[in-house]
């Protein structure tokens, strides 16, 4: 029971920190950046998130389910998923930036989209690794 309380405490602390940073960002960032810059950043973030939906597409859950049933397949599934995610995300990055150029977005907006696309690549790779770790039930927790 003590482990459950400790894990719940860390979860609540992490959620409070996330909410606090979100509120701070929403209150401070628009004032410091100005309306135009904040709007461009928000647009780039939402634009790339549509492509990221396709990049993630629930593969972490699929990997987790299959690895939990057969832990010997961990390496094969995670490696194949990383390769697949790298290929798919590379195609999606090219599509996102190419579509932004074709639609005639400003140069600065296209650069912001490119920066968020790099984040999309890391997020897609992370989802494959996290799915494998969840499948073998070895997700890390803070050391106390």
Domain borders along the chain are: 1-33, 34-135
- Percent of the chain at pLDDT > 90 equals 52
pTM of the model: 0.77
CA pair distance 123, 97, nearest whole angstrom: 18
Chain-wide mean pLDDT for the chain? 89
CA pair distance 128, 75, nearest whole angstrom: 11
Q: Reply yes or no on whether the pLDDT at 142 is more than 70.
A: no
CA pair distance 61, 45, nearest whole angstrom: 24
User: What is the predicted pLDDT for the residue at 1?
Assistant: 64
Cβ count near 2 (within 10 Å): 6
User: What is the predicted pLDDT for the residue at 31?
Assistant: 84
The token pair that represents 132 in the structure block: 């494998």
Of 51-60, 76-85, 134-143, the range with the lowest mean pLDDT is 134-143
User: What is the predicted pLDDT for the residue at 37?
Assistant: 86
């Amino acid at each position: 029971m003590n482990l459950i309380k400790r894990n719940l405490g860390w979860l609540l602390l992490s959620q409070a920190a996330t909410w606090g940073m979100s509120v701070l960002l929403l209150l401070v960032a628009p004032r410091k950046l100005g309306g135009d810059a904040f709007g461009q950043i928000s647009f780039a973030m939402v634009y790339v998130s549509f492509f990221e939906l396709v990049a993630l597409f629930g593969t972490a859950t699929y990997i987790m389910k299959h690895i939990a049933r057969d832990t010997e397949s961990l390496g094969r599934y995670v490696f194949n998923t990383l390769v697949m995610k790298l290929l798919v995300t590379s195609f999606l990055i090219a599509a996102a930036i190419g579509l932004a150029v074709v639609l005639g977005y400003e140069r600065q907006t296209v650069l912001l989209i490119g920066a968020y696309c790099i984040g999309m690549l890391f997020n897609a790779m992370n989802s494959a690794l996290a799915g494998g770790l969840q499948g073998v039930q070895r997700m890390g927790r803070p050391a106390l």
